[in-house]
Amino acid sequence: MKFFVDTANVEQIRQAKAWGLCDGVTTNPTLVAREGRDFREVIEEICSIVDGPVSAEAVTTEADSILAEARELSSWAPNIVVKIPLIPEGIKAVRMCAQEGIKTNVTLCFSPLQALIAAKAGASYISPFVGRLDDISHQGMELVHQILQIYQNYGFQTEVIVASVRNPLHVVEAAMMGAHIATVPFDVLAKFFNHPLTDVGLKRFLADWEKLQQEIKSS
Ligand code: E4P
């Protein structure tokens, strides 16, 4: 399973990479706005840090203008994936991008039929937003289950990015279901390490080692 980091903050990306937990990055206009930096500059910097795919979002809503943006964005770095919203004009643009070999991440997916439409259009990735569904009392992870089943039924190559992740349990469920990728905010990623028994156990080991009054020296 791949972990993408859902952020436009380069320090967070560097830290996640050092942990070996950054197989790619997803951004959106909200995340980029949070950094207050020039869009192209921040995307190019992220692309230079990350070996895997980096999603940068198109910000128009007509197929032709989305395609023009997609061509521009994908010229910035070889690992750019163009994020396109799941609207009719967006799906038209996804089809055109696929014909040109431009990779796409179809975003704002909230239903299995939307995901099916995206796959038929040739999307490289689909991003079901599980947290936002949970927020309105729907089972976000149930959507992921449905998409994986549908894609498996028909052999679609579109990879499922579990997005709008709010907590580590979303990621555990995604892994149990066999989702290809989870894109995870940095604060949630950092929680992957946590277990109180790890902290208690380490404290005890270090205290016992201290009693020995020894060092591990290089020979
Ligand atoms: C990722 O592609 C999405 O932009 C992101 O996960 C949305 O998350 P949010 O619902 O926390 O804004």
Query: 10 lies in a domain?
Result: yes
133 located within any domain: yes
Q: Which residue has the tokens 């066999």?
A: 178
- Which residue lies with its CA nearest to atom 11 of ligand 1? 164
Q: Is residue 55 part of a domain?
A: yes
Cα-to-centroid distance, 107 and ligand 1 (Å): 9
How many distinct structural domains can be found in the chain? Answer: 1
What is the domain extent for residue 20? 2-193
* Ligand 1 pocket member 26 (CB < 6 A): yes
Q: Are 201 and 219 in contact (CB under 8 A)?
A: no
Contact 94, 115 (CB under 8 A): no
Residue 208 lies in a domain: no
**Annotated catalytic residue, options 83, 103, 211, 217:** 83
Integer CA distances (angstroms), 29 to 56, 59, 70, in order: 8, 8, 15
Measured distance CA(56)–CA(59) in Å, rounded: 10
- Domain for residue 216, yes or no? no
**CB of residue 28 inside a 6 A radius of ligand 1:** yes
Note whether residue 136 is domain-resident.
Answer: yes
Entry pTM? 0.96
The rounded Cα 172 to chain-centroid distance in angstroms is: 15
Q: Is residue 199 part of a domain?
A: no
Is 58 inside a domain boundary?
A: yes
Alpha-carbon distance 77 to 43, whole Å? 9
129 lines ligand 1 (CB under 6 A): yes
pLDDT tens, residue order, the chain (219 aa):
999 999 999 999 999 999 999 999 999 999 999 999 999 999 999 999 999 999 999 999 999 999 999 999 999 999 999 999 999 999 999 999 999 999 999 999 999 999 999 999 999 999 999 999 999 999 999 999 999 999 999 999 999 999 999 999 999 999 999 999 999 999 999 999 999 999 999 999 999 999 999 999 998
Q: For residue 83, what are the β-bridge partners?
A: 57, 105
Question: What is the model's pLDDT at position 219?
Answer: 86
pLDDT at 195: 97
**Placement of tokens 């951004």 in the chain:** 27
Give the start-end residues of each E strand in the chain: 2-6, 24-26, 54-57, 80-85, 104-109, 125-128, 159-162, 181-184
Query: For residue 143, what pLDDT is reported?
Result: 98
CB contact set of 85 (below 8 Å; sequence gap of 6+): 58, 61, 106, 107, 108
Where residue 60 sits, what CATH number does that domain have? Answer: 3.20.20.70
